[in-house]
Amino acid sequence: MNAVRTERIGSTLLITIDRPETRNAVNAAVATGLAAALDELESDASLRVGVLTGAGGTFSAGMDLKAALAGESPGVPGRGFGGVTEAHVTKPLIAAVEGWAMGGGFELALACDLIVAAGAAQFGLPEVKRGLIAAGGGVIRLPRRVPHHLAMEFLLTGEPVDGRRAAELGLVNRVTEAGEAAAVAIRLAERLASNAPLALAAVKKIVHATDGMPEADAFALQRDQMRALMASADVREGMTAFAERRAPQWTGQ
């Protein structure tokens, strides 16, 4: 079974991460599947907007910690985490979030241009609980989307907020009833798709290129930090503790 499914609905490409038994955790198969889905969206002129969602009532629990422990990469070279977070997508992307958008799941949503979420959805960056940082855009993008102290609370506590609170913070465009996020996102996509594709692409390009510090510089700096972090004992401990369902024992090494 494919880890990522695509479905054409008019000019919208509905992209679904389909590993509900892992809460749609992102392993290498999901990352390559999402990259292929974005290629499908970009290469077909009849497709105007992408909607990214997850199967089984959950968006994504982020990096597949067990696959990562086994040495699997959740990223695609040049395209970032999940094949999405550093990808250059010229067409609008809408995240349709039900259930959990944790860690890399939240970061996939932050990589989208609009976010539709069920009120009971949960958005959080628990990386620090695992000895990691939110390196798929969380540390870089979230402080650009919400005020400093709120971003720091997400990043330093690792605690989630629900979809209603995320909307209050300005992170969510539409709050829906449970089970309605994808349908509302598809309707929103149809509205976007009625506008001029080149104009939409121009808006995206300008907004991204003028957004404070160039992200490529920020990501490059972060990569050096991540290299050292990934060599630490505590990162293995954090991921191992999660996989073994126990509290981590930090050594600071």
Catalytic residues: 107, 127
For ligand COA, the closer CB: 66 or 144: 66
The verdict on 136 binding ligand COA (CB under 6 A) reads: no
Helix (H) and strand (E) counts for the chain?
Answer: 10, 11
Q: 199 to each of 5, 103, 203, 219, 222, how far by Cα in Å? A: 28, 32, 6, 28, 32
**Does 118 participate in binding ligand COA (rule CB under 6 A)?**
no
Note whether 161 and 170 are within 8 A (CB).
Answer: no
For ligand COA, which residue of 23, 48, 91, 141 counts as binding (CB under 6 A)? 23
Cβ 170 to ligand COA, closest distance in Å? 23
Cβ contacts of 115 within 8 Å, gap of 6 or more: 94, 95, 97, 109, 166, 171, 172, 173
Task: Identify which of residues 126 and 137 has a Cβ nearer to ligand COA in the complex.
Answer: 126
Among 126, 137, 138, 163, binds ligand COA (CB under 6 A): 126
Looking at the Cβ atoms of 96 and 134, the one nearer to ligand COA is 134
Element (H, E) at 117: strand 114-118
Applying CB under 6 A, does 62 fall inside the site for ligand COA? yes
Residue 31 binding ligand COA, by CB under 6 A: no
Which residue's Cβ has the minimum distance to ligand COA?
103
Q: In whole angstroms, give the CA distance from residue 80 to residue 183.
A: 28
| CA-wise closest residue to 54 among 88, 77, 20 | 20
Considering CB under 6 A, how many residues would be counted as binding ligand COA? Answer: 16
Is position 100 an interface residue for ligand COA (rule: CB under 6 A)?
A: yes
- Stretch of 74-82, 88-96, 99-107, 182-190 contacting ligand COA, by CB under 6 A: 99-107
The two beta strands, 80-81 and 75-76, are antiparallel
Which region among 60-68, 84-92, 174-182, 195-203 touches ligand COA (by CB under 6 A)?
Answer: 60-68
Assess contact for 98 and 54: CB atoms under 8 A: yes
Residue 54 as a binder of ligand COA (CB under 6 A): the answer is no
Burial class (CB in 10 A: 0-12, 13-18, 19+), 109: buried
- 61: contact with ligand COA by CB under 6 A: yes
What is the SS3 assignment for 130? Answer: helix
Site of interaction with ligand COA (CB under 6 A): 22-23, 25, 61-66, 100, 102-103, 126-127, 130, 132
